[in-house]
Structure 1
Amino acid sequence: MDFTEAYSDTCSTVGLAAREGNVKVLRKLLRKGRSVDVADNRGWMPIHEAAYHNSVECLRMLIHADSSENYIKTKTFEGFCALHLAASQGHWKIVHILLEAGADPNATTSEETTPLFLGANVNCQALDEATPLFIAAQEGHTECVELLLSSGADPDLYCNEDDWQLPIHAAAQMGHTEILELLIPLTNRVCDTGPDKVSPVYSAVFGGHEECLEMLLQHGYSPDAQMCLIFGFSSPMCMAFQKDCEFFGIVNILLKYGAQLNELHLAYCLKYEKFLVFRYFLKKGCPLAPWNHISEFISHAIKAQTTYKEWLPSLLLAGFDPLNLLCSSWIDSVSDDILIFTLEFTNWRTLPPAVEKMISTRASHSSRALQQHIACLPSLTHLCRLEIRSCLKPEHLRSDSFICQLPLPRSLHNYLLYAEVLRMNEVPALTAIEDGEINEAT
């Protein structure tokens, strides 16, 4: 006999009315004296049907129709009483009616299961969509997380209205490494790559937890992740700039696992005045072309012009094309000294006509120094310097040591490195890191 599948031909008419919640039909049947204790192939009586299907009025009618105290305690062939079935479906009102009518809250099934155990829905959600697993992960209750997972809690059930936040995000953001280790192998990786999702890497960076970040990256989560519209960042590296004491450690970890640098990261260095990191990113091979966010970079560069000696020389010496800077906003906004310094990395007499026109317009109401500079002819040695540097590969321009190893006199090494221009503009010797990691002390 199958005790799990309900056969319609074995259910009494009273049972069917209770299953469907048909109060009108049930009332007529009871008036005709139809029995309320006829069981189907599973041993289910009408009271079981009403309890399981949340038929509140039908349940009340059935209880009153049978005065026997044992009717409310009758069990199915698997040992389930009406209270078990109501609790398993979360029908709190049915549970309340049954308890008031004398149902035993400690009744057990054939597998020794009580109604209390069946009322525990491990995937229930609060008004803000939070699940018990999410709250336990957020609060750091490792044993609760283990119990919930072993009881069938779903780690992929979204816990907010925007459908992106999971328990793994809570653990990563709050720094609960043991819980994170439990959740990583059980969580669907779509959260790391889905365009409308948020990688937990962002959560670890947002919380400033280096150990959680490294754990995620060790298990294959991307250090670049997807663009995060929720937080307004294009990459975890961009988000890292909002951190203070944790910043350097987070940056080093992201780079260690292959984070790709771009111009937005350089722009953020200027925005947050992290000039050592700016130079470090250049040494680590941040691409200098092509740039998709040049306007955003120039916007931050203009705001950082008072500290240009900390970053602009390094950018231009690394091989950045100064023509990318020589747009109207840069030409109109920076000081004469900065504009002259920028032009030192060009042949200012062969600039594109549009650029030449903007510079001439600017010079007409600027200092005599700028007017004289654009009026004079570049020296032959300067043109040779530009030509030699144009023949070098980008990775060579980023390395002072490579240029200093060229089979040339030391004076030419210095000339190729713009030593006289840096000296004339009083650019100090800048700390740079060829390899290794950066930290606050550096």
Structure 2
Amino acid sequence: MEQRMHFTECYPDTVSSVAAAVRSGSRKQLRRLIKRGRSVECRDNRGWSALHEAAAAGSTECVQELLSAVGGKIKKAGSSRGSRAYVNSLTHEGESACHLAAQRGHLAVVQLLLEAHANIDQLTNDLSCPLYAAVDGGHKEVVELLVCEGAEVNRTHTASCWTCLHQAVYKGHSEIVRILINVCNLEAVDDHRITPLFLAAQYGQQECLEILVNAGANVNTQAADLATPLLIASQEGHQACVDFLLDHGADPNKACSLDWPQLPIHAAAEFGHIGILRRLIAVTDRKCDRGDGMVSPLYMTVKNNHIKCVELLLKEGYSPDAQDCTHILGLSSPLSLSNRTYSESVRLLIEAGATLSEDNWMHAFITGERDMLPHILEHRWIPRQEVYTMGFSSPHNHGKIELTQFELRDLLCAVLSQAQFAASWLPLLMKAGLEPSLLMQSRMLEESKGDVLNYLLEFVNWSTLSSSLKHILDQRRAEKTWEPCPRFDNIPPLSHICRLQVRSVLGPDLVMRTNVVEQLPVPSPLHDFLKFRDIPEPPVQTRHHLDVDVV
């Protein structure tokens, strides 16, 4: 009956009078209660006895008093088993008095309990132990004591299977790490095969990282997913850790993913850590830029629109086209990301000369990105036809990058498929120097709105159209889907024929995009006429599906 709970003497939290005396640190009150026969073994609703209270409070005197009381009682019974059982009794959470004292850094209490044969390696319900608890709390002296007394140092704890060294590194307790490296397995792994050194890199614990590396820990260790310390430090933005790892043998070209050959440079690019990216550019094999089966870091930084990183990679010579990563990322080039979103990064790629595909052109025409097409035409030059047939470059492109024959072909495929919305893009292309004859095709004449068709015909000699195209125009007039300008029924005036001839001789690219017209020996009032500025642009109608993605 004596070991039962005395509810009549409980406080609101069910603590017994003995435990309450211990909690207050009153050794005299504790002695009086013991002399009155109060039990020191009563448990509260947490399973705590007075010894747990004393250990948690760090009350060395009360611990001594309780151990003496139990020791005297056991001595009378002629057995020491009861004493050990008392010292090692557990709360409902599986905590021993030694664990509670170690957790709170009560060195003297831990020493007393160990002398009373406390189980130094007793596990709690959540797989902690006195040493792990002391490490977690950063209690260096307690850790030194427990290690000296032979505590198990390489056991795994908690659901993640961390060792004490893992926890010391995670918490950044460098002095404790210095103690543990002499007795612990430096390459111990958790359930994801992560070592303490990996954790130091992941959480930016630079001092702990240096201690581990200097102790001989492997800087190129890999987790279950092949991630390395260098990759994780690059991802998390820990510049000092990245620098230290590289200076001590970390391999920047080790593949760090089971899915594709991810490198630390990809992590830095993806998360926009420009300082780390700059360091990694200098040491990373450039085959990741264009190599087959590889992935350029441009994909990562463009996807996340890290402008400074995009600028840096392009400045350092990374190709704006990279390699085709359709089989890895579902993307054929970094610029194909413009089919998902038009960003500042995409603008930089265009300026750097990224190859434009039909999908890119379609995105510029369909999605309503009003700035994309003008930006492309600002930095790209549409050369005259003889450039492709004769195989030479335009002499006056003012440093802009010329569209290739394939880019121009893709442009035409895109615009002809979007003929019904030509009002939004046709004036831009004409002003950029596109040869209008390239657009004089049946689909364009059949699907263009009337005012767009009139605008286009102003750039050609409408009297010399082929019979098939004239037939389309006649049919549209009969169907009343097109009302031509009155002058289209007549032969073009000589002035119009003359400017067409000037355009033909000089090339539409030079006429529309340079000041070559102003240099001709003609009156200045004719300059605007020769540049076709007298032709009113067709009105742009609101489109209701501007957000439709290009597939």
Task: Sort the TM-score into its range (normalised by shorter chain).
Answer: 0.5 to 0.7
Q: Secondary structure at the match of 1:204?
A: helix
Say whether 1:259 aligns with 2:356: no
* The one of 278, 295, 299 aligned to 2:373: 278
From 255, 277, 281, the counterpart of 1:158: 255
Report whether the alignment pairs 1:344 with 2:458: yes
1:122 pairs with 2:220:
yes
Q: Where does structure 1 lack aligned partners over 5 or more consecutive residues?
A: 1-83, 93-112, 428-442
Aligned to 2:414: 297
**One-letter amino acid of the structure 2 residue matched with residue 124 of structure 1:** Q
Structure 1 residues 61-140: aligned runs within 5 Å: 120=218, 122-127=220-225, 129-140=226-237
**2:153 matched to which residue of 1?**
none
Q: Deviations over 1:63-84 (max 9, x none)?
A: xxxxxxxxxxxxxxxxxxxxx9
Instruction: Write the distance in 2 (CA, Å) between the matches of 1:359 and 1:232.
Output: 43
Alignment of 1:93-242 (within 5 A): 120=218, 122-127=220-225, 129-229=226-326, 230-239=328-337, 242=340
Change in 2 beyond 3 A, CA 1:193/1:383: same
Query: 1:17-61 CA deviation, whole Å, 9 max, x = no partner?
Result: xxxxxxxxxxxxxxxxxxxxxxxxxxxxxxxxxxxxxxxxxxxxx
Aligned to 1:320: 434
CA positional deviation for 1:340:
1.8
- Return closer, same or farther for 1:398/1:302 CA change in 2, 3 Å cut-off: same
Partner of 1:52: none
1:131 alignment partner AA: T
Aligned Cα root-mean-square deviation (Å): 3.9
Contact kept? 1:133, 1:148, Cα under 8 Å? yes
Give the Cα separation in 2 of the matches to 1:114 and 1:251. 45
Once residues 199 and 131 of structure 1 are traced to their aligned partners in structure 2, the CA distance between those partners, rounded to angstroms, is 19
Pairwise CA distance, 1:184:
0.9
d(CA) in 1 for partners of 2:255, 2:497: 62
Tell me, yes or no, if the aligned pair for 1:88 and 1:115 is still in contact at 8 Å: no
Larger radius of gyration: 2
1:205, 1:240 within 8 Å by CA — same for their partners in 2?
no
The two structures have a TM-score, normalised by structure 2, of: 0.49
Q: 1:37 — aligned with what?
A: none
The 2-side partners of 1:115 and 1:189 are apart by: 28
Q: Secondary structure at the match of 2:294?
A: coil
Q: Contact 2:321–2:333 at 8 Å: present in 1 too?
A: yes
- The 10-residue stretch of structure 1 (197-206 or 165-174) with the greater mean CA deviation from structure 2: 197-206
CA change 1:410–1:184 in 2 (3 A) is same
Which structure exhibits the higher relative contact order, with contacts defined as CA atoms closer than 8 Å and separated by 6 or more residues? 1
Inter-CA distance 280–124: structure 2 relative to 1 (3 Å threshold)? closer
Tell me whether 314-323 or 396-405 shows the greater mean CA deviation. Answer: 396-405
Question: 1:262–1:287: 8 Å Cα contact kept in structure 2?
Answer: no
In structure 2, the residue matched to 1:396 is 510
Distance across 1 between alignment mates of 2:448 and 2:471? 17
Q: Which blocks of at least 5 consecutive residues in structure 2 are unaligned?
A: 1-181, 191-210, 386-404, 541-551
Say if 1:219 and 1:293 are closer, same or farther in 2 by CA, change over 3 A. Answer: same
Q: Is the 8 A contact 1:172 1:212 kept in 2?
A: yes
Identical pairs, percent = 32
Query: Contact 2:231–2:264 at 8 Å: present in 1 too?
Result: yes
The two structures have a TM-score, normalised by structure 1, of: 0.59
Distance 1:323 1:364, change over 3 A: farther
For 1:341, the aligned partner's letter is Y
Report the Cα offset of residue 197 of structure 1.
Answer: 2.5
- The total of aligned residue pairs comes to 315
Corresponding residue of 1:369: 483
Structure-to-structure mapping, 1:1-16, within 5 angstroms: none
